[in-house]
Structure 1
Amino acid sequence: MKKNVIISTDPGIDDAVALALATFSRELNVQLVCPLFGNVNVNNTVANTEKLLTFFEKDIRIVAGSQQPLIRESIEASNIHGKTGMEGFDFPKASQLADTSLTAVEAMHQVVSQNKTNTTLVGIGPLTDIALFIHLYPQDLSKIEEVVVMGGTLDRGNFGVLSEFNFASDPEATKMVFDSGLKIRVAPMQVGRQAKVMPETSEKVKRLNKIGDMFYQLFSKYRGGSFANGLNMYDALAIALILKPEIFEEVSTRVEIETAGNLTAGASLIDLKNYLKLPDNAKVAVSVDSIQFEEWFVAALGKAD
């Protein structure tokens, strides 16, 4: 039986890859995609999601998510993904358009409450909408299989000194998710850096099909790593955690999110040595087999026809 999945995302080039891996998977039933602010503003992330699902020829419901964090000013990463978030490829006009009749959180509730089997929430952008869903619909939480997120850092950050971009985008929302009691699995930033797409892999991807050629062109504009020395496929790791968990080393531990520090807001304290003496609340990937990841990555995109 396929696993029911809702994806909260902020495309973003590595988000686009994650969406392809998820929507073309024969093991996942992607029922809803909710683009929100993050790498670029929500207008761009919605437009990018519409273009992607149209290009993929996937009839999957799109509902726009939050425009900003719960209480903070927005940050963004157009320096990494380009001004629109997906520069480098001329997409055809989108025909798969977002549903504007309700909010992403309401749509999540509709899907989760009506599903006959449990639903997995995938967070590969800021966790604002997942936090709001948890807050507004506690009656749905028993129907959540797990929350799988890409975010956090095992040591230093890529936005702040100690904070990774997705978690730093909305620290309060991130804390709400980790305090929810739900089953949570995490792919931190460093694991994404282990799973680089090297130049020879990009060449393989280019030759696969029209999806591969599109990604090759996007990769040429992506600044997450470098085209010459390897690109960081951060968000793809969340999909790999679901579909290929055996290629990861995962550790059950406590994850606490800093919200009060002036210099450390959004920092993820992944307590691998049990300094905090608190119960485990997440399984955290601490490493990935990069060779097996590359093989899976190319094979999975090869099925994207």
Structure 2
Amino acid sequence: MTKILMDMDPGIDDAAALSVALNHPDLDIKLVTTVAGNVTVDKTTINALKIINFFNQGDQVRVAAGAVQPLIKPFEDAARIHGESGMRGYDFTGSLPDPLEETAVEAMHRVIMASDEPITLVPTGSYTNVALLFSQYPEVKTKIEKIVAMGGTLGRGNMTSAAEFNVFTDPHAAQVMYQAGVPIVMVGLDVTHKALLTNETLQEIEGMNPAGKMLHDIISSDGDKNENGVAMHDVNTIFYLLHPEFMTTKDYWIDVQTEGPANGETVADIRGAYHDGKTNAQVCVDIDAQAFNDWFKEQVQAMKM
């Protein structure tokens, strides 16, 4: 069983990723932390608690609220895509468990250092909490197996022509993470835009069970949905963790631009010309989109309340 710490900004696709992870027998979520990103951190925290409560795991999986803004850059949300609440489309009922009194960074440090085996970090929002963790508690690096991060792109961005949203939100934090010396798998737009959940998949999950109905409703409200389907960016991190055989990766050195018109761009040293042949990330460059859809349907079918 893989021990993971999920750092996220729910957000529709974060919610779908968390739903899969909560229900998968091979994943052990030690902590969920939240960050400002798709919407403000008070809302992302509530949304994480809503999903955990939906699956009746409030006593097992705790949530700690994190950074309210990026390290340096002004905060810019994605409410235009996810709605003002960050997770529109479904009416969640019931009282929510309380988040931890600790900050996200304090809780991350405690959980990682107390673990008897290395933990995998799965950041699916901006990387502000991760950067603060590494800056304040560098000793955690030796106890992290790897980071499987949604974000970045080798091609066209979705915030600017150069930058993907998570990196664009806090490029300085991304720079800290990529320079930390911890193994990183970059799950970016190069694969998430290829592996759309199709409209047929959405129709199938709607009638599977209550979880399928909930996921269908929030995913269908995603502002990026089009006639071909919808990109569930963050779910791809969980897919990679469980089925790396369905993704193609290449090793690159990734630098992050932190100013100018290319702010937030992830630049790969594709010729190996500038870092003495060294690399700092496995970059996902291709994916079996049919396998992703089939797998997602299987996960939803197995979800229990």
Shift of 1:276: 2.9
Contact 1:31 / 1:111 at 8 angstroms: preserved in 2?
Answer: yes
Give structure 1 stretches of 5+ with no counterpart: none
Q: Distance in 2 between matches of 1:32 and 1:140?
A: 15
In the alignment, what sits opposite 2:76? Answer: 75
In the alignment, what sits opposite 1:255? Answer: 254
Q: Distance in 1 between matches of 2:124 and 2:88?
A: 19
| Matching residue within 230, 252, 272 for 1:274 | 272
In the alignment, what sits opposite 1:14? Answer: 13
In the alignment, what sits opposite 2:169? Answer: 169
In the alignment, what sits opposite 2:53? Answer: 54
One-letter amino acid of the structure 1 residue matched with residue 80 of structure 2: N
Q: Secondary structure at the match of 1:182?
A: coil
- TM-score w.r.t. structure 2 length? 0.96
Change (3 A) 1:201 1:139: same
Moved over 2 A (4+): 93-97, 270-278
Contact 1:44 / 1:84 at 8 angstroms: preserved in 2?
Answer: yes
In the alignment, what sits opposite 1:94? Answer: 95
- TM-score w.r.t. structure 1 length? 0.96
Shift of 1:277: 4.0
Contact 1:50 / 1:94 at 8 angstroms: preserved in 2?
Answer: no
Q: Distance in 2 between matches of 1:96 and 1:273?
A: 50
One-letter amino acid of the structure 2 residue matched with residue 179 of structure 1: Q
Q: Distance in 1 between matches of 2:188 and 2:52?
A: 26
Contact 1:156 / 1:162 at 8 angstroms: preserved in 2?
Answer: yes
In the alignment, what sits opposite 1:115? Answer: 115
Q: Distance in 1 between matches of 2:155 and 2:2?
A: 32
Shift of 1:212: 0.7
One-letter amino acid of the structure 1 residue matched with residue 132 of structure 2: L
Q: Secondary structure at the match of 2:29?
A: strand
Shift of 1:218: 1.0
One-letter amino acid of the structure 2 residue matched with residue 50 of structure 1: L
Q: Distance in 2 between matches of 1:247 and 1:48?
A: 30
Q: Distance in 2 between matches of 1:224 and 1:65?
A: 26
Shift of 1:275: 4.2
Q: Secondary structure at the match of 2:94?
A: coil
Q: Distance in 2 between matches of 1:243 and 1:220?
A: 25
Shift of 1:109: 0.6
Q: Secondary structure at the match of 1:200?
A: helix
Number of equivalent positions:
301
Q: Secondary structure at the match of 2:99?
A: coil
In the alignment, does 2:26 pair up with 1:27? yes
Give structure 2 stretches of 5+ with no counterpart: none
Root mean square deviation of aligned Cα? 1.1
- Percent identity between the aligned chains? 34
Q: Distance in 2 between matches of 1:229 and 1:290?
A: 12
One-letter amino acid of the structure 2 residue matched with residue 38 of structure 1: G
